[in-house]
Chain A
Amino acid sequence: MLLLAIVAVTTLAANSARQLRYMAVAFFGVSLAAHLIDDGTLAVSQILISACAALVASAILFVAARDRRFGEDPGWRLWLATIVAAATTAAAFAFLRPETGDEINTNLLGPDPSGVTTEVAAFWLLSSGIAILLTARGAVRGSLGALLMLTGTQLLVRMMPGPELALTLLLSWLQVVVALAGAFLIVNQRAAREA
């Protein structure tokens, strides 16, 4: 539960940041906390790969900023994104939570084998990402939204049966490519605006 709280707070920090560099650092915090949520199926190799990808993605955005002041003021979009994300998370959890009949047993620090914490974190990240992406004016917040959505997706993929290491690798590559494409767009939009 503590990691879930960290995910929520760092998502809000990334969402409210006016500077791209702060946004990149906050995203790394979100991603790290999300991947450390233990649902009883965690493997060290997967955590390492996901953390590396998150670090590289954050570094790409950090470098793309070029100076510490560059960014995008969220303004009213911050509140809209937060309210929409909170409402959508609750709705998604109510509609899409599997009906297993198992008792939900969460605690503050230990693992959560029921998967509730992972699911809530995934739904929160997906809905925050959607809200940020849909209200973004440019590539700065657009990239953040896309990366948050992808992190949420990674958590959901982790819960399904299948070739876990291969999927972790594939999604980590995808995260780096999303960051690269986002950074490319940020640089180009900035060049177009400053011309």
Chain B
Amino acid sequence: MIWIIALLGAAALFAFSVRKRLALVGTVTLSALAVAIAFVIALPMDATGAVLDLPWRMSELGRLAAVVLLGTLCLLVLAVWVEEPAYNFFPTALVVAAAVLAVLVLTTPIAIYAALLLGLLVPVGSFTFQVHRNRSAEAAYRHFSFVALGGCLGMAALALSASLGRDQPPGTFVLLVVILVVAFALKLAAIPFHTHAALLASEVPAPALALYFGVLVPTTFIAFAQILVLSGLLPAIVEIGKVQDLLLGLGLTSALGGAFLATGSTELRRVAVYSVIANLGQSLVGIATLSGPGIIGAMAIALVTGLAATQQLLAAGTLERRAGADRPSATTAPLAALAFVVGGFAMVGAPPLVAFPGHFFVELIAYSYSGWLGTALVIATLGVLVAQLRAAMAVFQATPDRWRIEQRPIAGIVGGLVFFALLIGGLQPDGFLRPIAAFADEFLRALHPL
């Protein structure tokens, strides 16, 4: 495994050195990502190893998430290569791929955290563009600050909890777990820690935004769940209900707040970004229920939301660019508009897409937890639905005499590929949900160690 991460790192260095030769850098980036995906698929399940005494393991969830996230990266690279060449994007995508793989296979919490921070910091270079004309440098700086603050706080809390004996007062562990949860909330842009995400949504290039919300945010969520399992802090969370309440509160605030903000947004990118925040809120609620269906639903929502975010943000970027100074409209890029709309189906968890089981599980378990919690999540989903419908109606407001497919309809093609992948997943959900269920088993075992 270390060789494939090293290969991605080396490919990133090479891509950086030839970043202005588009054909070469595009080919190298896509080839390296394809090799990494093939290697992950070919690796035996539960393969293990160690690098400098740092253990790694390819779990079922790790394999599924790696294929989904590296596949998303491939689509993003393809879109940038064909439609919106941005030289820094190719090496960034390769470093992010290496960091994502490291996060998914490492089994030491601090190492997972450090790899995650590397992945979150690298896109700073892709966030900034034409700094004289916009606030992308400020948006990138805010992202940097949030990641550094949340990252160092979280790692410090983990290091302290690992060095303390288990006979410490419960208050100490509560404080450390609260710091860890807040640290992840900062990186997940959970409300009320979402101000950097709002600025990113309006200022940075669409592919870079898709890289963040489509690949890195789901990776952060998976890392959070893995770190909870591996750090041994879960029993403390069960014993002290306050932490569970904090997670539920954060999740619920994000779900409702994200849906509310999405409903009020008129920009396509903001609708997509706030829908992601709302869905991650639902995922946090799923984790906070500390139940099998809740955990399965949470992880499924996080992964599918990443795919839908990629689909919608690329489409939004294309629509905005083609519209110029006017409002984005389907008349200028009908396939991209269609991709945005079908991305909305995945965002709300509509059947028969594979997005449905995740939402269904989390809302079901929320109802069994308490009636008002389930109702609040359903209201949040309805809010996202309204926001997506408003955005779709705004995009398709004007109809031309004759529909004409845009030139180089890469956003539409990416949207179509993602839609069919989600549809196939929805028709045979077992293949998607079984690896997540295996992780949920590990989570529950860590919750009640014998």
Q: Which residues of the other chain, A, contact B108 by a CB distance below 8 angstroms?
A: 162-163, 167
Q: Between A and B, how many residue pairs show CB distances below 8 Å?
A: 140
How many chain A residues have a CB neighbour from B under 8 Å? Answer: 47
B396 at the interface (CB under 8 A from A): no
Min C-beta distance of B105 to chain A, whole Å: 14
Min C-beta distance of B297 to chain A, whole Å: 32
Residue ID in chain B nearest A134 by CB atoms: B149
Option from B117, B149, B163 in Cβ contact (under 8 Å) with A98:
B163
Within 8 A of B (CB), among A1-20: none
Assuming the A-B contacts A100-B165, A174-B117, A185-B124, are A163 and B52 also in contact, with contact meaning beta carbons closer than 8 angstroms in the complex? yes
Within 8 A of A (CB), among B128-143: 128, 131-132, 137-138, 140-141
Contacting pair B152 A129 (CB below 8 A): yes
Contacting pair A191 B132 (CB below 8 A): yes
A44 at the interface (CB under 8 A from B): no
In the assembled complex, the Cα of A159 lies from the Cα of B163 at a distance in Å of 6
B370 at the interface (CB under 8 A from A): no
Q: Which residues of the other chain, A, contact B131 by a CB distance below 8 angstroms?
A: 188-189, 191-192, 195
Assuming the A-B contacts A181-B144, A185-B141, are A171 and B114 also in contact, with contact meaning beta carbons closer than 8 angstroms in the complex? yes
In the assembled complex, the Cα of A121 lies from the Cα of B116 at a distance in Å of 25
Contacting pair A188 B128 (CB below 8 A): yes
Option from B53, B152, B163, B171 in Cβ contact (under 8 Å) with A149:
B152
A34 at the interface (CB under 8 A from B): no
Residue ID in chain B nearest A123 by CB atoms: B156
Residue ID in chain A nearest B162 by CB atoms: A160
A153 at the interface (CB under 8 A from B): yes
Q: Which residues of the other chain, A, contact B156 by a CB distance below 8 angstroms?
A: 122, 126, 149, 152-153, 156
Min C-beta distance of B35 to chain A, whole Å: 23
Contacting pair A160 B51 (CB below 8 A): no
Contacting pair A98 B145 (CB below 8 A): no
B199 at the interface (CB under 8 A from A): no
Q: Which residues of the other chain, A, contact B148 by a CB distance below 8 angstroms?
A: 133, 142, 145-146, 149-150, 178
Mark interface residues in B162-176 (1 if CB within 8 Å of A CB, else 0).
111101110110011
Q: Which residues of the other chain, A, contact B110 by a CB distance below 8 angstroms?
A: 157, 160, 162, 167
Min C-beta distance of A122 to chain B, whole Å: 7
B417 at the interface (CB under 8 A from A): no
Within 8 A of B (CB), among A125-168: 126, 129-130, 133-134, 136, 138-139, 142, 145-146, 149-150, 152-153, 156-157, 159-163, 165-167
Q: Which residues of the other chain, A, contact B140 by a CB distance below 8 angstroms?
A: 185, 188
Contacting pair B122 A157 (CB below 8 A): no
Mark interface residues in A63-96 (1 if CB within 8 Å of B CB, else 0).
0000000000000000000000000000000011
Assuming the A-B contacts A95-B172, A177-B122, are A142 and B141 also in contact, with contact meaning beta carbons closer than 8 angstroms in the complex? yes
Residue ID in chain A nearest B53 by CB atoms: A163
Contacting pair A153 B155 (CB below 8 A): yes
Contacting pair A133 B175 (CB below 8 A): no
Contacting pair B172 A96 (CB below 8 A): yes
Contacting pair B159 A159 (CB below 8 A): yes
In the assembled complex, the Cα of A98 lies from the Cα of B163 at a distance in Å of 8
In the assembled complex, the Cα of A162 lies from the Cα of B118 at a distance in Å of 20
Contacting pair A177 B152 (CB below 8 A): no
A99 at the interface (CB under 8 A from B): yes
Q: Which residues of the other chain, A, contact B137 by a CB distance below 8 angstroms?
A: 185, 188-189, 191-192
Contacting pair A181 B155 (CB below 8 A): no
In the assembled complex, the Cα of A167 lies from the Cα of B54 at a distance in Å of 8
In the assembled complex, the Cα of A133 lies from the Cα of B145 at a distance in Å of 7
Min C-beta distance of A19 to chain B, whole Å: 20
Min C-beta distance of A123 to chain B, whole Å: 9
Given contacts A133-B145, A145-B148, A181-B144, 15 further A-B contacts (CB under 8 A): A95-B175, A96-B175, A126-B152, A138-B141, A142-B145, A156-B163, A157-B110, A170-B111, A173-B118, A177-B121, A184-B124, A184-B128, A185-B124, A189-B131, A191-B131
B residues apposed to A, CB below 8 Å: 51-54, 108, 110-111, 114-115, 117-118, 121-122, 124-125, 128, 131-132, 137-138, 140-141, 144-145, 148-149, 152-153, 155-156, 159-160, 162-165, 167-169, 171-172, 175-176
Would you give 21 A-B contacts (Cβ < 8 Å), ordered by A?
A: A96-B160, A96-B164, A96-B175, A99-B167, A136-B145, A149-B153, A150-B152, A153-B156, A160-B159, A160-B163, A162-B108, A163-B54, A165-B53, A166-B51, A166-B54, A167-B110, A170-B111, A174-B114, A178-B148, A188-B128, A189-B131
